[in-house]
Amino acid sequence: MINATLFIIQIMEIILIGQEKALEQLSTGINRLKHADQMLDDLLPLPVGLSDRQRNIVVGMREIVRYLYQQAVFCYSLNAITDQDLAKVLGTTRYRLDQQMSHLEAQGIIKLMQEKPKIHQLTNDAYLKLD
C-alpha cells in the first residue's frame, strides 16, 4: 500500500513539473508573439496615405507573416499549414492569398517549402527580425 501511495505521489510530481514547464513555454511564446507584433511594423510598415486596396494588401500580408511566425513559435513546424488551409484560417480567397504570398516572396520574407500542396514558411532573416 505504501509503495502504491509513493508511486502516485511521484507521478503527481512529474505531472506538476510537466504542467509548470508547459505554462512557462506558453508564457514565453506569448511574449515572443507580442514582441513580433511590434517588430512587424519594421518588417512590413503600413505607410500613411495608402488607398484602401493597397492597405488591405499590406494588412493581409501582415496577417500571413504573423500567422506563420505564430506557427513557428508554438508548433515548431511539426504541422506545416498549406496555403489553401491558411486562406481558410485568414478568411480570404486563395487568389488574394497567392497575390500576397508573391509579394512576401519577392521581399524575401517567406519562402516556398513545398510545391504541391503549396506550403510557405518565414525565411530565416524574417524570423530573426521578428524574434
Write out pLDDT tens, residues 3-39: 878 888 899 999 999 999 989 988 888 888 888 888 8
Instruction: Domains for the chain: give ranges and CATH numbers.
Output: 2-130 (1.10.10.10)
Cβ distance 126 to 110 under 8 Å? yes
Contact 61, 107 (CB under 8 A): no
pLDDT at residue 120 greater than cutoff 70 = yes
Instruction: For residue range 79-108, list pLDDT tens digits in order.
Output: 788 899 989 989 999 999 999 999 999 999
Residue 51 phi/psi, 5-degree rounding, is: -70, 165
How far apart CA 55 and CA 99 sit, in angstroms, is 14
